[in-house]
């Protein structure tokens, strides 16, 4: 049994002369729910597609379940469930036919579980895929991915295009399914609240680079947001390393910094602040701070 | 084998119009062959048969090229391989099943007339002045011609990002039957066609195996 179902080594991908993935290194441990975050066009989908062997890498190597992604065997693929961004199903097939095709091609098919899901979703079997709503397509795609009892589940922005109610329903079900069985999951989403609820490890991509790769709790612990009040105008530079973002407004300074420690605290004290208050940070706050264009390089250097 | 069968079944259902047309055309070709042979009296009436044969040949080669284009271009346009490779299916299996479907259409088209011709020109049948030994050579040549036209369609369908440029291969497709008309059904022509088919299919496979889905 491989301890890391997902391994990415120095992955570089150029697309039409543009660097889409720039030296990604990643190892996802078995049983981990990994939340992959990033703004539009940062390379999340390309990374996932490269992992699945749908995109050839320009340089580097990706491995799924111990097999090179470029030559995944049918047996290895049978252990992977994939929900593609936009729910890439064969549009002109009827639901019944698509299910039949997936069932016939699967090496292992949990009919009882699939029937249970279909009963929950109540999908119209005679309707064509292109006639289904985005929510129905998402549900069908999830059901097809889950029916094979995958060891590794890859969800690429599965709630994209769903309204709030459909998204919540989908997520409740997905969380339920995920938590019931011990499996490795790579979950990409723009909805940070969703990721925060289910992920135990986080990766943040900015411009083709993985600038954050650590456990969610560790990320929350290491990135601090401080509101510092000075007696007079706040100093422009604190000479502290690993500042992710700094905003000055008169006497007030709001500072987001990685790896806050007593040494940094001591340096701050030399500027004689009146008060220093720690502000609570959600994953969304951390994400926004980390993906600001000017701060991405700082975070990368800090090796969060 | 179950995977191959499922993929082949999918190809047949998705392109059922081509299979049905091949079946109908095969029946017509067989009927035409039987009619020409049975009504042969040494006059020039067989010229009507030749004219029909030319029309049928053009329809067949264009149709088979169209099948190749429909399979590959349809895949690209509808992201079929991208969906299938997320299942326990490899690109090689998809490609082999697809080519097998094309070969099956050609066999549906050619086997009934070939059987009819073998019987009509058999040792116990007199009346038509045709050398019996030519029948296998002719059908081997026709099979390779059909496969060559289909392979051109497969190649064009995967190498073009839009449908219109694939029409550019039509002159090549129409040249293939002319090769048989000019050079006959000998082993040299068979070798040329076999190399041409291998080149088309190998080129398509290399691109299919390495490109983004």
What distance in Å separates residue B89's CA from the closest CA in chain A?
Answer: 5
Give me the pLDDT at residue A300, please.
46
Domain parsing of chain A, residue ranges: 6-199, 220-302
Contact B78 A56 (CB under 8 A): no
Please, are residues B94 and B179 in contact by the beta-carbon 8 Å criterion?
no
Residues of A in contact with B90 (CB under 8 A): 72-74, 77
Q: How many CA atoms lie within 13 A of B115 on its CB side?
A: 8
Q: What percent of chain A has pLDDT over 70?
A: 92
Please give the DSSP secondary-structure letter assigned to residue A131: G
Residues 6+ apart with CB under 8 A from A43: A13, A20, A21, A24, A205, A207, A208
A6-199 and A220-302 share one CATH topology? no
| Nearest-by-Cβ selection for B86 from A52, A55, A104 | A52
Strand partners, A212: A204
Residues of B in contact with A107 (CB under 8 A): 88
Please, are residues A65 and B74 in contact by the beta-carbon 8 Å criterion?
no
Q: From chain B, which residues contact A within 8 Å (Cβ)?
A: 2-3, 6-7, 10, 78-80, 82-90, 93, 210-213
Give me the pLDDT at residue A297, please.
44
- CA closest to B82 among chain A residues: A54
Q: Once rounded to an integer, what is the mean pLDDT over residues A31-60?
A: 90
Q: How large is the ipTM? A: 0.82
Per-residue pLDDT of chain B (213 residues; tens, 9 = 90+): 888 999 999 999 999 999 999 999 999 889 888 887 777 666 655 555 677 778 888 889 899 999 999 999 888 888 888 899 889 999 999 999 999 999 999 999 999 999 988 888 776 666 666 677 788 888 999 999 999 999 999 998 888 777 777 777 888 888 888 888 888 888 889 999 999 999 999 999 999 998 888
Residues of A in contact with B3 (CB under 8 A): 74, 105
Q: From chain A, which residues contact B within 8 Å (Cβ)?
A: 49, 52-56, 72-75, 77-78, 80, 82, 84, 88-92, 101-102, 104-107, 148
Contact A75 B87 (CB under 8 A): no
Q: What percent of chain A has pLDDT over 90?
A: 22
Give me the pLDDT at residue B200, please.
93
Contact A104 B88 (CB under 8 A): no
| Nearest-by-Cβ selection for A88 from B3, B79, B93 | B79
Contact B84 A105 (CB under 8 A): yes
Contact A56 B212 (CB under 8 A): yes
What distance in Å separates residue A223's CA from the closest CA in chain B?
Answer: 37
Confidence of residue A62 (pLDDT cuts 50, 70, 90): very high
Give me the pLDDT at residue A133, please.
85
Confidence of residue A142 (pLDDT cuts 50, 70, 90): confident
- CA closest to A141 among chain B residues: B83
Give CA A264 to chain center in angstroms.
31
Which of B83, B85, B90, B93 is most worth mutating to test chain A (most A CB atoms within 10 A of its CB)? B83
Contact B87 A84 (CB under 8 A): no
Q: What is the pLDDT of residues A222-235, one digit of tens each?
A: 888 888 998 888 88
What distance in Å separates residue B63's CA from the closest CA in chain A?
Answer: 22
So what's the architecture of A6-199 in CATH? Answer: 3-Layer(aba) Sandwich (3.40)
Residues 6+ apart with CB under 8 A from A284: A192, A193, A196
Residues of B in contact with A80 (CB under 8 A): 86
Of A3-12, A236-245, A255-264, B47-56, minimum mean pLDDT range: B47-56
Give me the pLDDT at residue B129, please.
65
| Three-class secondary structure assignment of A55-69 | CCCCEEEEEECCEEH
A220-302, which class in CATH?
A: alpha beta
Domain parsing of chain B, residue ranges: 2-210
- CA closest to A153 among chain B residues: B86
| Nearest-by-Cβ selection for A101 from B2, B10, B93 | B10
CB pairs under 8 A between A and B: 60
The pLDDT of residue A303 is above 50: no
Contact A88 B82 (CB under 8 A): yes
What distance in Å separates residue A301's CA from the closest CA in chain B?
Answer: 33
Give me the pLDDT at residue A258, please.
84
Contact B212 A55 (CB under 8 A): yes
- CA closest to B9 among chain A residues: A101
Give me the pLDDT at residue A161, please.
67
Q: What is the pLDDT of residues A92-111, one digit of tens each?
A: 899 999 999 999 999 889 88
Give me the pLDDT at residue B5, please.
93
Residues of B in contact with A82 (CB under 8 A): 86
CA–CA separation, A236 and A234 (whole Å): 6
Q: Once rounded to an integer, what is the mean pLDDT over residues A161-178?
A: 72
Residue identified by tokens 């985005």 is A134
The pLDDT of residue A267 is above 60: yes
Closest by CA to B137, choosing from B122, B118, B155, B120, is: B118
Q: What is the pLDDT of residues A274-296, one digit of tens each?
A: 888 888 888 888 888 877 765 54
| C-alpha separations of B34 from A7, B30, B112, B135, B162 in Å | 65, 6, 11, 14, 42
- CA closest to A55 among chain B residues: B212
Strand partners, A85: none
What distance in Å separates residue B110's CA from the closest CA in chain A?
Answer: 30
Give me the pLDDT at residue A302, please.
47
Residues of B in contact with A106 (CB under 8 A): 87-88
Q: What is the pLDDT of residues A240-255, one digit of tens each?
A: 888 888 888 888 888 8
C-beta contacts of B92-97 below 8 A and 24+ residues apart: B92/B209, B93/A74, B93/B3, B93/B4, B93/B7, B94/B7, B95/B204, B95/B205, B95/B208, B95/B209, B96/B4, B97/B4, B97/B7, B97/B8, B97/B10, B97/B11
């Amino acid at each position: 049994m491989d301890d890391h179902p997902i391994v990415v080594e120095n992955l570089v991908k150029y697309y039409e002369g543009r660097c889409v993935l720039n030296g990604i290194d990643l190892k996802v441990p078995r049983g981990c729910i990994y939340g992959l975050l990033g703004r539009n066009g940062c390379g999340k989908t390309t990374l996932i597609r490269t992992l699945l062997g749908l995109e050839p890498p320009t340089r580097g190597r990706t491995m799924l379940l111990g097999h090179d992604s470029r030559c995944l065997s049918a047996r290895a693929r049978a252990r992977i469930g994939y929900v593609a961004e936009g729910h890439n199903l064969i549009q002109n097939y009827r639901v019944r036919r698509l299910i039949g095709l997936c069932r016939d091609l699967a090496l292992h098919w949990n009919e009882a579980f699939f029937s249970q899901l279909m009963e929950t979703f109540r999908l119209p079997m005679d309707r064509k895929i292109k006639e289904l709503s985005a929510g129905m397509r998402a549900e069908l795609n999830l059901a097809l991915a889950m029916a094979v009892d995958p060891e590794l589940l890859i969800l690429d922005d599965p709630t994209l295009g769903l309204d709030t109610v459909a998204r919540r329903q989908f997520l409740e079900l997905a969380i339920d399914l995920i938590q019931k069985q011990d499996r490795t999951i790579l979950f990409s989403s723009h909805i940070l609240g969703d990721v925060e609820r289910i992920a135990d490890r986080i990766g943040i991509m900015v411009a083709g680079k993985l600038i954050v790769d650590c456990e969610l709790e560790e990320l929350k612990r290491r990135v601090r947001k401080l509101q510092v009040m000075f007696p007079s105008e706040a100093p422009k530079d604190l000479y502290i390393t690993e500042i992710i973002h700094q905003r000055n407004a008169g006497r007030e300074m709001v500072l987001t910094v990685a790896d806050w420690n007593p040494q940094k605290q001591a340096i701050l004290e030399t500027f004689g602040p009146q008060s220093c208050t720690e502000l609570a940070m959600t994953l969304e706050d951390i994400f926004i701070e980390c993906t600001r264009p000017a701060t991405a390089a700082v975070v990368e250097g800090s090796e969060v | 084998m179950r995977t191959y069968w499922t993929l082949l079944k999918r190809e047949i259902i998705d392109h059922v119009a081509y299979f049905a047309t091949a079946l109908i055309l095969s029946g017509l070709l067989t009927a035409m062959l039987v009619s020409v042979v049975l009504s042969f009296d040494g006059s020039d009436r067989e010229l009507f048969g030749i004219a029909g044969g030319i029309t049928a040949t053009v329809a067949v080669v264009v149709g088979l090229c169209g099948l190749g284009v429909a399979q590959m271009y349809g895949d690209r346009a509808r992201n079929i391989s991208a969906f299938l490779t997320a299942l326990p299916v490899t690109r090689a299996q998809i490609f082999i099943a697809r080519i097998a479907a094309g070969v099956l259409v050609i066999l549906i088209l050619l086997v009934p007339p070939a059987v009819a011709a073998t019987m009509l020109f058999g040792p116990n049948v007199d009346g038509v002045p045709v050398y019996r030994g030519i029948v296998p050579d002719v059908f081997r040549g026709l099979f390779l011609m059909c496969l060559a036209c289909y392979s051109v369609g497969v190649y064009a369908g995967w190498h073009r990002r839009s449908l219109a440029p694939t029409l550019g291969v039509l002159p090549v497709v129409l040249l293939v039957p002319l090769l048989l008309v000019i050079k006959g059904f000998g082993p040299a022509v068979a070798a040329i066609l076999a190399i041409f088919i291998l080149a088309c299919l190998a080129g398509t496979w290399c691109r299919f195996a390495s490109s983004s889905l």
